[in-house]
């Protein structure tokens, strides 16, 4: 009788473990692939394409809304960020060439408009968060 109790007890424990175990879940969600962000100005004949995954989400959810910063503020920050970015892009042995792939041609004498400066500024802010780097002066606020 005692053996039957042990078998019954072990069977119940086994069934409970089997019932609580996880089963593989098939990912059937059709989540669309994030589209690249294109920054363009036809009159100035230039285009920037940002393919970094997560930037669109950052732009739509974390970034301050358009109009929050003045264009002058964005231009000043972008000049600083572009100088640092280009220095790093030109020194691939010292900095990660997978992050700093291209030099950015940004002239302080060209009026790129608000939208371009806004998106470029927010890309730099996004990149600093994602890659835990500091493109400006001062304390690295992402570490």
**pLDDT tens digit sequence for 16-73:** 565 665 555 555 555 556 666 666 666 666 677 777 888 999 999 999 999 999 999 9
Token match 């409970």: residue? Answer: 16
| Core vs surface per residue 78-98: b (16+ CB within 10 A) or e | beebbebbbebbeeeeeeeee
The pLDDT assigned to 50 comes to 79
Count of C-beta atoms within a 10 Å radius of residue 133: 19
Distance between CA atoms of residues 5 and 28, nearest Å: 44
Average pLDDT score over the chain: 80
pLDDT digit string (tens) for 132-141? Answer: 999 986 544 5
Question: Which SS3 state, helix, strand or coil, does residue 67 take?
Answer: coil
């Amino acid at each position: 009788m005692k053996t039957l109790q042990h078998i019954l007890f072990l069977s119940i424990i086994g069934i409970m473990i089997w019932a609580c175990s996880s089963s593989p879940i098939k990912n059937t969600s059709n989540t669309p692939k994030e589209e690249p962000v294109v920054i363009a100005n036809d009159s100035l004949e230039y285009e920037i394409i940002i393919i970094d995954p997560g930037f669109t989400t950052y732009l739509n959810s974390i970034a301050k809304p358009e109009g929050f910063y003045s264009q002058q503020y964005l231009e000043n920050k972008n000049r600083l960020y572009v100088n640092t970015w280009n220095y790093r892009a030109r020194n691939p042995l010292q900095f990660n060439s997978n992050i700093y792939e291209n030099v950015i041609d940004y002239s302080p004498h060209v009026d790129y408009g608000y939208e371009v400066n806004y998106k470029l500024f927010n890309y730099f802010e996004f990149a600093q968060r994602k890659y835990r780097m500091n493109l400006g002066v001062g304390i690295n606020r992402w570490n």
